[in-house]
Amino acid sequence: MGLLITLILAALVGWIASMIMHTDGQMGLIANIIAGIAGGFIGTTLLGFIAPASPTDNGFNIMGIIIGVIGACIAIWLWQLITGRRAA
């Protein structure tokens, strides 16, 4: 059950980041999940000192989602930089 919730949250984080970066029309579900997972790693690495990875009683941490979205935006930006693709 934890893996399913992680994938759903990663998709949500990736989707929010793709909306911010104006790439939502170009990205599908799998790309959103990948961006969300990458965003979690990047966000935790760069901004983990703001909100340490400590789950709350119900396992939901809004600051973790915000940091994941910031990290996913960075991941999408890096992907665009590497591939040369820009948002339409």
pLDDT at position 72, please?
92
DSSP string, 25-75: TT--HHHHHHHHHHHHHHHHHHHTTTS-S---TTS--HHHHHHHHHHHHHH
Report yes or no on 35 lying in a domain. Answer: yes
pTM assigned to the model: 0.80
76: containing domain: 2-83
Report yes or no on 88 lying in a domain. Answer: no
The CB-based long-range contact list for 46-55 (8 Å cut-off, 24+ gap) reads 46/70, 46/71, 46/74, 47/71
Of 39, 34, 29, the C-alpha closest to 66 is 39
| Regions of the chain with pLDDT less than 50 | none
pLDDT at position 19, please?
92
pLDDT at position 9, please?
87
Report yes or no on 79 lying in a domain. Answer: yes
pLDDT at position 20, please?
92
Contacts of 45 (CB under 8 A, 6+ apart): 71
Report yes or no on 11 lying in a domain. Answer: yes
Report yes or no on 20 lying in a domain. Answer: yes
- Number of structural domains the chain divides into: 1
Of 1, 26, 27, the C-alpha closest to 14 is 27
